[in-house]
């Protein structure tokens, strides 16, 4: 048996890419998750070999990821009246947001996603990623 099991059901669903842990708790509360044919409860543990099913799979969030070259003049967060927002520059689903920020006067690669786990891993100080900037004046 793997050292990862037993595993909380919300962690299992997040690990499988079905939802974030918080989103998994919502699915469980709405009785959308089954473990071995029984309705799962929050905090329940999954063992290796258990069958986990999701009722009405359309309710499971599909994560999307975009790499976008933001041009100068586009705002990534909180645009003022009359400023061009990143969502006006590229057609995105409503729940997709930039990971981090680039100033209005900057251009460059920015990641856009609806996956909060990725956003957290890239931005949270505890993950200590190197950042590299190339500046031209």
**Residues with a known catalytic role:** 103
- Cα separation of 10 and 27, whole Å? 9
Contact yes or no for 23/61 (Cβ under 8 A): yes
CB burial class (10 A; 0-12, 13-18, 19+) of residue 67? exposed
Find residue 97's DSSP bridge partners: 113
Token readout for 13 is 């669903």
Provide the 10 A C-beta neighbour count for residue 70: 22
Provide the 10 A C-beta neighbour count for residue 49: 8
Find residue 68's DSSP bridge partners: 110
């Amino acid at each position: 048996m793997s050292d990862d099991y037993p595993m909380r059901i919300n962690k299992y669903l997040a690990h499988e890419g079905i939802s974030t842990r918080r989103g998994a708790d919502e699915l469980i509360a709405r009785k959308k998750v089954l473990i071995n044919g029984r309705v799962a409860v929050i905090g329940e543990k999954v063992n290796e070999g258990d069958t986990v099913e999701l009722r009405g799979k359309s309710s499971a969030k599909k994560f999307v990821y975009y790499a976008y070259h933001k041009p100068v003049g586009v705002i990534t967060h909180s645009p003022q009246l009359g400023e061009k927002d990143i969502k006006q520059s590229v057609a995105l689903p409503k729940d997709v947001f930039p990971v981090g920020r680039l100033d209005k006067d900057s251009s460059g690669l920015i990641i856009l996603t609806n996956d909060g786990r990725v956003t957290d891993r890239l931005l949270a100080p505890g993950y200590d990623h190197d950042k590299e900037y190339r500046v031209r004046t």
